[in-house]
Amino acid sequence: MLFFCPSCGNILIIEEDTSSHRFTCHTCPFISKIKRKITTKTFPRLKEVDHVLGGIAAWENVDSTDAECPACSHKRAYFMQIQTRSADEPMTTFYKCCNHQCGNTWRD
């Protein structure tokens, strides 16, 4: 496959001809018809998305408090505080319902 002109060494440009496509050089009169079409699709591997709060392991050793779950009305919830904004603003409190069948998370 040609990418550079064999006469002058400049990069070849793909142009549309009347019946097909061709490689042409803008510096010299070199022209070469493209004889076969090669296409490949390569999709990048997506990286795994990290859980913002640290995933399941972040909730392993947290305390619980009296807080009503907005989803199931359970009266206890695990909580942790994280500094999500600048240091002069208060910390954000995240809650997770103690009802293992619910597991709802919310913030205050």
Can you say which residues are annotated as belonging to the binding site for Zn(2+)?
5, 8, 25, 28, 69, 72, 97, 102
Q: How far is CA 49 from CA 1, 29, 53, 55, 70, in A?
A: 39, 52, 12, 11, 27
Chain position carrying tokens 């042409």: 24
d(CA 95, CA 57): 15
d(CA 70, CA 75): 10
In DSSP terms, 62 is beta-bridged to none
- Which segments are annotated as binding site? 5, 8, 25, 28, 69, 72, 97, 102
